[in-house]
Structure formats: structure tokens, C-alpha cells
Structure 1
Amino acid sequence: MISIVFDLDGTLADTSRDMLKAANLCFEEMGYSDVLSEAMHRGTALHGGRAMLTKGLTLLKEPNLANVVSEYYPKFLKYYRENLYEKTVFYDGAITCVEKMAKQGWNVGICTNKPEDLAKSLLSKMSAQNYFKALVGADTLSVRKPDPAPFFETLRRLNGKPNRSCLVGDSITDYKTAKAADVPIILVDFPPNDTDMSSLKPDAIIGHFDELVPTIEKLFLKIK
């Protein structure tokens, strides 16, 4: 049986706008307004809260950057939890694709660097929690991606096997995770991602979810 493990942010769903709002609320608390913009920084948002705080504080020329990021990251999580599902949307075709995988008897799970409770809450708010048989977040284990342990834990919960699995993601972190786990990596090239996917030389790149199932089928024919 094939097991497909997805990343969440930037892969299944565009969470950038709600994450940017949470980061800007942190900057407002510091006394600044609209430090990060949707036009310029949605790609940064998909790299997570710390990345956005670092970017904004760098723009503000904060001399004590690391300490301020550490201080405000819990506040970012608080603001994000309060504004988790205002503008977040699944990418076009994502759920249809997951449904097709389920009909074919494939196991589908999520391995994300979003804290587990936030990931579960978001899926619940989007009425999508039942589509995924397993979810492992940044704090489920003592390590997070690109360590392969969260991927293997997701696979264990799916009753899957590494030689019949692949990771679908959108970042160098996902790429490194798949390489460490020695499984195929398919990268999605969806906006607002700012990563040059082709430079990573993944097993495949897709530009729409319509392409994913045929891509996986071809990939596993090659593996045979």
C-alpha cells in the first residue's frame, strides 16, 4: 500500500496571510505598524513564525535580534491561534486529490513543522481532519523536520513502509527530510512560495494538484 505524507503550510494550504497578521500584531506590540506586507512577505510567512519575526526585526535593524525573536515567538503563537482561519485556504484541487488517493486505497498523513495543536485546530476549522489518518507536528516528538524522525513517526501511524512512501512538500526543509529518510520527494510550486524548486532537484515538481496522483503513479512504477 502506498503512503503519502504531506507538509501542511505552503503545500496543502496557503496559510501565509493569517500568519502575517499574527507577526504584524507582534510588531504592533513593539510599537511598529505593518512591518511585513502581503505583497512582499507572504513567501517568508510560509517559513514560519520565527522566520517572519526575524525578517521584520532585520528590517527594523533590531540589534538584539535573537533574544527578541525568542521573546515574541510565544506571543506570535498566541496571536496566530486567535486568527488561525480568517484567510487560510486549501490550494485548488488539494482536497479532491486527497479524496482520490483515499479511493485508491492510499494512506494519507501530514508531517508539519507547525505545532501539533495548531495544525489539528486548523484542519478542524477547515472541516478536513477526517481526510488524514495521521498528523505529526513540530512538537509531537523532541525533534522536527528536517530530522527524519517525524516523517517516520507519521509513517508508523499510517502503518506504512518507507519503500512504498513519499513526501510532498514545498521547501528545502521537506527536501532535506526526504533525503534523510531516503524516500522520494515531490515539491509543489505554488504561490506565494519564493523557493527555487528546480535548484533542489527533487524527484518531481508539480504546479497543480491535478498532476500529483499521476506523478506518484509514475514514480512508483520506476521504483518497481
Structure 2
Amino acid sequence: MRTVIFDLDGTLADTSGDLIAAANACFDMMGAGAVLDPARDAGTALRGGRAMLRLGLGRIGHADLEGQIDRFYPVLLEAYGAAIDVHTVLYPGAMEAVAQLSRDGYAVGICTNKPEGLAETLMTRLGVRGAFASLVGADTLSVRKPDAAPLVEAVRRAGGDPRRALLVGDTVTDRETARAAGVPSVLVTFGPGAEDVAALKPEALIGHFDELPGTVQRLIG
């Protein structure tokens, strides 16, 4: 079965506001206040909790950068899990595209570097978990993207054929994951890292999810 696998953060949904709020909760505990800005730092937020902590700790000039990241990363995850869907929104047309792909006979799933439990919680709270046949997170396997294995596993769990699959994402991690798996990638240009994705030379770029079904048909039939 032909399969389309989606990244989550920055691809299906803008999760940056809740991620930054969780990081700022950590900086509040350090006595530094809200170090990160939801608009300016959205791109870093979508690279994950450790990236946000590293950015903020660098701004406040903390001497023990890696030690504080290790200490506060679990705190960040706890804060994020407690308020995971306050600011998060699905991108326009995302679920309509998913529904169209399903009607066209494609299996659909998710492969994310968000911990699996948090990804399951978020998609359930957003009311769309049932639209996806699989969900593989950062800790589902012993490796994570850009290793090909999580993508292959997401395809397998969706009932698909890894040789007839495609990854929709928004970062160099997604581009490299697709390349490692030997499948095409489609990168979105509407996320915080939009200015960088064209340079990654994916098989296709889309500026709105309306473009996805036709792009998928062209790339994997």
C-alpha cells in the first residue's frame, strides 16, 4: 500500500507556543524569567526541548550549559505535558489533505521526534489521532530521525510498503530521514523554517496543504 508519513511539529501543527511556554517555565525556575520569545524563537522550538534550553541558557550566559540542559530537560517535558494544547493549532488544510489522501487510497501515519506519549496525547487532544494509522515517536525505537528506521516502522505500522512511501516534513532532519530510507520528501514552506527548506532540495515543496494530494500522486503514484 502507498503510504504518506507526516512529521508533526512544524508540519501538521504549529506547536511552538506551547513548547516555548514549557521552556520559559524552566527559565522561571532558574530566576531568569521568560528568556524565549514565541515569535522570534519559534524555529528553535520546533527543533526540540534541548535546543530551546541551549538557546536560552546561552542568552543568560549560564556557565554549565550541558549540565543544566540535562537537569531541566525532564522538567521541560513535564511542563509541556501539563499544558500541551493551549496555543497549538493545526496548519490550515492539514486534516483536509489527510482525509483526501485516505480517500485516494493512501495509508497515512506520523513519524516525529517528539516523545511518543506526548505525541499521542497531543493528537488525541486535538481530536485527530484517529485519522492516522500509525504514530512513531522519538522513543518508540532505540533510534530516532534522521535514522531511517522510525520512518520505515511508521510505514509498516500503517500497513504500507516502505518502497512506496513519502515523508512530509519541514526540516533538514526530515529531508535526511527520507534520503536515508530511499523515499521522496515533501517539505512545507509555511513553518518557522520556511526560508531554509528550498536549499535542502527535496523532491517537492508545498506552500499550502491544498497542494499535497496532487504532489503525492506525482511522486509515488
Q: Aligned residue for 2:126? A: 126
Q: Aligned residue for 1:199? A: 199
Distance 1:158 1:10 in 2: 22
Identical aligned residues as a percent? 50
In terms of mean alpha carbon deviation, does 4-13 or 30-39 score higher?
30-39
Q: Aligned residue for 2:18? A: 18
Distance 1:122 1:76 in 2: 16
In terms of mean alpha carbon deviation, does 16-25 or 56-65 score higher?
56-65
Could you tell me which amino acid in structure 2 is paired with residue 75 of structure 1? V
Asked whether the equivalents of residues 20 and 37 of structure 1 are also in contact (C-alpha less than 8 Å), the reply is yes
Distance 1:194 1:104 in 2: 28
Asked whether the equivalents of residues 43 and 194 of structure 1 are also in contact (C-alpha less than 8 Å), the reply is no
1:92 to partner: Cα distance: 0.1
Could you tell me which amino acid in structure 2 is paired with residue 45 of structure 1? A
Distance 2:109 2:220 in 1: 18
Q: Aligned residue for 2:146? A: 146
Name the Cα RMSD after superposition: 1.0
Note the alpha carbon deviations across 1:119-150, whole angstroms, 9 max, x for none: 00001101111000000000001111111111
1:215 to partner: Cα distance: 0.8
**SS at 2:40's partner residue?**
helix
**SS at 2:41's partner residue?**
helix
Could you tell me which amino acid in structure 1 is paired with residue 46 of structure 2? L
Matches within 5 A, 1:52-67: 52-67=52-67
In terms of mean alpha carbon deviation, does 155-164 or 115-124 score higher?
155-164
1:86 to partner: Cα distance: 0.3
Query: What TM-score do you get using the length of structure 1 for normalisation?
Result: 0.96
Matches within 5 A, 1:95-114: 95-114=95-114
Distance 1:137 1:35 in 2: 28
Could you tell me which amino acid in structure 2 is paired with residue 21 of structure 1? A
Note the alpha carbon deviations across 1:34-53, whole angstroms, 9 max, x for none: 10011210111111111100
Distance 1:35 1:45 in 2: 13
1:16 to partner: Cα distance: 0.2
Matches within 5 A, 1:27-176: 27-176=27-176
**SS at 1:92's partner residue?**
coil
Distance 1:145 1:216, change over 3 A: same
Distance 1:195 1:67, change over 3 A: farther
Distance 2:194 2:77 in 1: 23
Could you tell me which amino acid in structure 2 is paired with residue 25 of structure 1? A
**SS at 1:4's partner residue?**
strand
Note the alpha carbon deviations across 1:169-203, whole angstroms, 9 max, x for none: 01111111111111001101113225501111100
Distance 1:102 1:141 in 2: 26
Distance 2:216 2:155 in 1: 17
User: How many residues are aligned here?
Assistant: 221
Query: What TM-score do you get using the length of structure 2 for normalisation?
Result: 0.97
Gaps of 5+ in 2: none
Distance 1:143 1:195, change over 3 A: farther
**SS at 1:39's partner residue?**
coil
Q: Aligned residue for 1:187? A: 187
